[in-house]
């Protein structure tokens, strides 16, 4: 029978129907995703700007003394500068909500059943979410790695708002206590670059933690291509006996103790073990650092806790390139699994709660990595990898459901 079978004749003028990965359906769903993600993001941004602007409104509006119009323009400009820092943290969750919203509308209109009935598989329906993840992954990385630090640099330079005044690199007079490999440093920082230490006191300790020396100076600068710092116009206190020879004339008694000495000096080099780049950004949160500075600090030796702070931030930035795509794919997959034919409230709340748990997990991993409770690579990539595992599991269950096996 098969030997005598004739090929199906092709009728002239008819176009062959093929499923295109980037066709009408993909463009239609992608536009719907983008529109609703924008609405969710704008709503969350309005709430975030209100909360952020309220306690510092008087600082922003009061800067402009030339009239109401200038004050309004100043507030609008400040809101634009604050937008990258506010949008970047919640953009992946906004993507999840926007995709779920679009998928719910897709189900309620009956379009999903129509699309599946024409032969498009659930896996092929993921193409709009993949494209959305690629587009907004680039947006997320650009906001968090480039626009956020740039906008904060402007705020610091112009002392705009509470953060701009707090992180202003030109301020002086603030005393810092800084641990170093050889002891403890009390100093004021002229951030530079290059940074200069002023009115410093360095408490030097031995391996057992005992105080062996106290160096006091008016200023200290790091020598080029060296780990030594040049102190000027200071004195050194030691708990030993008085030196012999001509130096004995410069000895000053320290307190009421007879076995301690203080020797003045004009210049003295001391190994403080401090990175000038790290000092120039001392007190700044990692999310405000430019990407090249962040990479350098993540590779430098500034202590285990400091390295974890910067390396975790760097890995989280890299993970943010795929996190929006993972959130979009997870939202689409869960919607196909639980909201394919109808949208019961219980299932809808459950899907949204899963998205919130993913958002919370990303922030929790960031905090644990920065505080040394989790390796930096795991902190940056655990949530995206776990989300892709959930996506795979969801489609495995969808295929079992379509074949009538159940789950």
- Please report, rounded to a whole number, the percentage of residues in the chain having pLDDT higher than 90: 46
Q: Is 346 exposed, middle or buried (0-12, 13-18, 19+ CB in 10 A)?
A: exposed
* pLDDT beyond 50 at 22: yes
The structure tokens listed for 67 are: 């009239």
The structure tokens listed for 195 are: 């940074």
* pLDDT beyond 60 at 255: no
128 with 29: CB under 8 angstroms? yes
Q: How far apart are CA 309 and CA 321, in angstroms?
A: 20
Query: How much is the average pLDDT of 340-361?
Result: 94
pLDDT at 80: 94
Q: Read out DSSP for 243-262? A: PPGGGGGG-EE-TT-SS-EE
The phi, psi pair for 283, rounded to 5°, reads: 90, -10
283 with 306: CB under 8 angstroms? no
124 with 269: CB under 8 angstroms? no
CA 72 remoteness from chain centre: 30
Sheet strands (E) in 102-173? none
Residue in 368, 391, 390, 365 with CA at minimum distance from that of residue 380:
365
* pLDDT beyond 50 at 45: yes
Q: How far apart are CA 336 and CA 355, in angstroms?
A: 15
Beta bridge partners of 262: 237, 252
Query: How much is the average pLDDT of 87-103?
Result: 96
Q: Is 51 exposed, middle or buried (0-12, 13-18, 19+ CB in 10 A)?
A: exposed
User: pLDDT band at 325, cuts 50/70/90?
Assistant: very high
* pLDDT beyond 50 at 1: no
62 with 161: CB under 8 angstroms? no
User: pLDDT band at 250, cuts 50/70/90?
Assistant: very low
User: pLDDT band at 248, cuts 50/70/90?
Assistant: very low
Residues 6+ apart with CB under 8 A from 184: 177, 178, 202, 203, 205
pLDDT at 246: 41
């Amino acid at each position: 029978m098969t030997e005598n079978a004739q090929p199906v004749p092709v009728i002239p003028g008819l176009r062959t129907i093929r499923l295109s990965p980037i066709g009408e359906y993909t463009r239609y769903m992608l536009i719907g995703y983008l529109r609703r993600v924008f609405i969710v993001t704008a709503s969350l941004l309005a709430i975030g700007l209100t909360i952020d602007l309220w306690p510092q409104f008087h600082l922003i509006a009061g800067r402009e003394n030339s009239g109401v119009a200038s004050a309004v323009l100043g507030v609008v400009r400040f809101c634009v500068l604050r937008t990258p820092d506010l949008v970047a943290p919640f953009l992946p969750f906004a993507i999840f909500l926007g995709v779920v919203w679009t998928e719910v509308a897709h189900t309620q209109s009956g379009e999903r059943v129509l699309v599946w009935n024409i032969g498009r598989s659930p896996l092929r329906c993921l193409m709009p979410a993949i494209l959305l993840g690629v587009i907004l992954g680039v947006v997320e990385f650009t906001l968090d790695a480039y626009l956020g630090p740039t906008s904060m640099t402007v705020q610091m330079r112009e002392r705009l708002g509470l953060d701009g005044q707090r992180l202003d690199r030109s301020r002086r007079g603030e005393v810092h206590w800084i641990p170093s490999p050889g002891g403890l440093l009390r100093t004021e920082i002229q951030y530079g670059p290059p940074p200069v230490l002023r009115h410093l006191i360095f408490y030097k300790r031995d391996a057992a933690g005992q105080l062996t020396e106290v160096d006091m100076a008016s200023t200290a600068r790091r020598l080029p291509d060296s780990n030594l710092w040049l102190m000027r116009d200071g004195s050194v206190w030691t708990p030993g006996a008085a030196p012999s020879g001509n130096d004995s004339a410069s000895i000053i008694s320290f307190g009421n103790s007879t076995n301690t000495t203080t020797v003045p000096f004009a210049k003295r080099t001391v190994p403080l073990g401090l990175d000038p780049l790290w000092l120039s950004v001392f007190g700044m949160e990692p999310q405000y650092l430019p990407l090249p500075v962040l990479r350098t600090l993540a590779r430098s030796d500034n202590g285990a806790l400091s390295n974890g702070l910067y390396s975790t931030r760097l890995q989280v930035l890299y993970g943010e390139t795929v996190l929006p795509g993972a959130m979009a794919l997870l939202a689409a997959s869960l919607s196909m699994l639980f909201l394919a034919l109808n949208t019961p409230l219980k299932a809808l709340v459950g899907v949204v709660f899963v998205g919130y748990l993913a958002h919370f997990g990303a922030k929790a991993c960031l905090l644990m990595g920065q505080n040394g409770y989790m390796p930096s690579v795991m902190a940056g990539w655990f949530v995206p990898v776990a989300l892709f595992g959930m996506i795979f599991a969801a489609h495995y269950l969808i295929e079992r459901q379509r074949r009538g096996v159940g789950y």
